[in-house]
């Protein structure tokens, strides 16, 4: 089975119901050995493309990973980007905003970490939390200093978020990004909801009583995610919904999406000028003599 990234892409203007999206698809590998071989092939190609991205220094790539806890974001980032030069790739994880960050608008702390040309930036969670966790827990708006008094919870989403055009604001980084040649690739995970952190010995440390309480809001989160994906996915800056119940398969899908994005830039190594060519020949001769 060949991975076709378009199978996981959210079409622009498409209403997203995550209940209709699979959490698991037929794997593209037949064994653990074949999985490792395929991932190694993807990683090697990603390494080559990242060097080309850096050498051409004309584009930047921003990868946004947005998903529920235990959906495999950390593992996907760690495995897929393992062969990329750390100097050309930076990962930023966005937790609860600090007191200083709360004094600024919600885009401030992420905008300052956008990647430079020639580099890959990865956001592990992002400004999209403002239409996900904030929608499920509107009381967070109090901490952000946006409300004097909390109105009816059913009205807060429409009155405070929709009427304030947050959908437009949240997509704002894509507009200047296009003119500055930053290409944004967004990915979210669709998992069945079985939180493995509670049963895996390697992940027990991640699990807490707060996770049990948060689990009760699962359906609210799925609704928020669906509306966010449908409202913000565009042809230029798409969302991809990756089935997450098979972690190995998800990593292969993610790496293929990143590869497709890089290869779609049609990059080339800088052409050598006659003067530079002459300089390189001189350097070569000096090295032979040393």
**Secondary structure (DSSP) of 78-121:** HHHTTTS-GGGEEEEE--SPPHHHHTS-TTHHHHTTPPPTT-EE
Confidence band of 68 (pLDDT split at 50, 70, 90):
confident
- Pick the most confident of 155-159, 166-170, 253-257: 253-257
Of 69, 95, 16, 72, the C-alpha closest to 210 is 69
Q: Which domain holds residue 197?
A: 5-289
At residue 125's C-alpha, the angle toward residues 193 and 92, to 5°, is 140
Contacts 24+ apart (CB under 8 A), 29-35: 29/248, 29/249, 29/252, 32/248, 35/248, 35/252
Is the pLDDT at 53 greater than 90? The verdict is yes
Q: Is the pLDDT of residue 196 over 50?
A: no
pLDDT of residue 214: 77
Question: Residue 42: what pLDDT?
Answer: 96
For tokens 């993807």, the residue is 42
Query: 28 or 187, which is more confident?
Result: 28
Q: Note the pLDDT of residue 234.
A: 85
Q: Domain tally for the chain?
A: 1
pTM of the predicted model as reported, rounded to 2 decimal places: 0.82
Residue 180 neighbours by CB distance under 10 Å: 12
Which pLDDT score, from 0 to 100, does residue 35 have? Answer: 96
User: According to the model, what pLDDT value does residue 147 have?
Assistant: 58
175/245: higher pLDDT: 245
Please check the confidence at residue 5 and state whether its pLDDT lies above 70: yes
In the chain, pLDDT over 90 holds for what percent of residues?
A: 32
| Model pLDDT, residue 140 | 80
CATH number at 234 reads: 3.40.50.300
- CA 141 – CA 191 distance, rounded (Å): 28
How far is the C-alpha of 129 from the C-alpha of 118, rounded, in Å?
A: 27
């Amino acid at each position: 089975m060949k991975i076709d990234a378009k199978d996981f892409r959210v079409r622009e203007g498409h209403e997203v119901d995550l209940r209709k999206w699979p959490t698991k698809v037929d794997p593209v590998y037949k064994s653990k050995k074949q999985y490792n071989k395929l991932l190694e092939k993807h990683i090697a190609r990603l390494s080559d493309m990242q060097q080309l991205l850096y050498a051409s220094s004309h584009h930047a790539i921003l990868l946004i990973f947005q998903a529920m806890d235990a959906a495999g974001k950390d593992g996907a980032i760690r495995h897929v980007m393992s062969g990329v030069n750390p100097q050309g790739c930076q990962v930023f994880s966005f937790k609860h905003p600090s007191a200083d960050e709360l004094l600024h608008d919600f885009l401030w702390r992420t905008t300052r970490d956008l990647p430079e040309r020639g580099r890959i930036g990865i956001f592990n969670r992002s400004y999209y939390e403002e239409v996900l966790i904030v929608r499920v827990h509107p009381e967070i708006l109090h901490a952000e200093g946006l409300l004097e008094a909390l109105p009816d919870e059913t009205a807060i989403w429409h009155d405070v978020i929709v009427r304030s055009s947050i959908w437009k604001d949240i997509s704002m980084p894509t507009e200047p990004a296009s003119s500055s040649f930053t290409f944004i690739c967004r990915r979210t995970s669709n998992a069945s909801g079985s939180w493995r952190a509670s049963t895996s010995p390697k992940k027990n440390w991640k699990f807490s009583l707060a996770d049990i309480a948060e689990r009760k809001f699962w359906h609210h989160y799925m609704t928020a995610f669906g509306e966010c994906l449908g409202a913000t996915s565009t042809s230029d800056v798409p969302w991809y919904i990756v089935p997450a119940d098979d972690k190995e398969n998800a990593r292969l899908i993610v790496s293929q999406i990143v590869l497709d994005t890089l290869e779609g830039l049609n990059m080339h190594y800088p052409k050598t000028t006659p003067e530079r060519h002459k300089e390189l020949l001189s350097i070569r001769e000096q090295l032979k003599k040393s």
